[in-house]
Amino acid sequence: MKVIKSIDETLFVEFDDENANTTISGVPVMFMSKKTMSSLCMGMIGALGKGARPLLYTSGYNAGCKSAPVVIKQWDCKNLDERLKATIQQFARYGWLLLKEVTLSEDGNEITCKVEKSFESLAYNRKSETSVCYFLEGFLCGYMEIVFNKKNLVCEETTCQAQGDAFCQFVIKRKFWKE
């Protein structure tokens, strides 16, 4: 696996000012303050309640499915260990969250992700009455399906820093019972 040397190399960023187009690893992106993104998610949940979850989850899932192959290719990952290491450093470098731990259960059916400082939880100042990281539930599900080479998974956030928990925990399981 490659090792990070400089900020440009880390972000694989290219600017095209003529066309207001910035790309990271060839993917067009836009920069936005963490607070704006966090408030946007909070506003959506404020307006739609639990109805915001499928919306955020689905867009997160689709983004996760698209992101994982880019990271794996960019860091030239050869195995699961390298894929996870690249993932941990990319999440932190992009300012999304700290991925503290990823564990696979002994039977191989459950992936647990322990996360701190998720951008979705920040705006709540630990005062939410529910977990709130719906976009990340979807994102981690789609992303880990590719990293672990599994299909039809579903993710649920079981603890959340937005409601005062020590960390956000995401449990990713099979969507259907084994036949």
- Which residues lie near Zn ion (CB under 5 A)? 118, 121, 133, 160, 168
Residues 6+ apart with CB under 8 A from 134: 41, 45, 52, 53, 55, 56, 57, 60, 120, 157
Q: Token digits for 104? A: 């696979």
Give residue for tokens 């490659």. 2
Best CA proximity match to 150, nearest among 140, 161, 160: 140
Q: How far apart are CA 64 and CA 151, in angstroms?
A: 13
- Which residue type sits at 106? E
DSSP state of 52: H
Closest CB 120 distance from Zn ion, rounded Å: 6
- Looking at beta carbons only, is 107 or 129 nearer to Zn ion? 129
User: How far is the C-alpha of 159 from the C-alpha of 78, rounded, in Å?
Assistant: 32
Residue closer to Zn ion, measured from CB, 82 or 116:
116
CB 73, min distance to Zn ion, A: 28
Nearer to Zn ion, 135 or 148 (CB): 135
- Nearest-approach distance from CB 35 to Zn ion, in angstroms: 16
* Least distance to Zn ion, CB of residue 157, Å: 5
For Zn ion, the closer of residues 68 and 133 by Cβ is 133
Rank residues 117 and 173 by Cβ distance to Zn ion and give the closer one: 117
Q: Least distance to Zn ion from the beta carbon of 165, Å?
A: 8
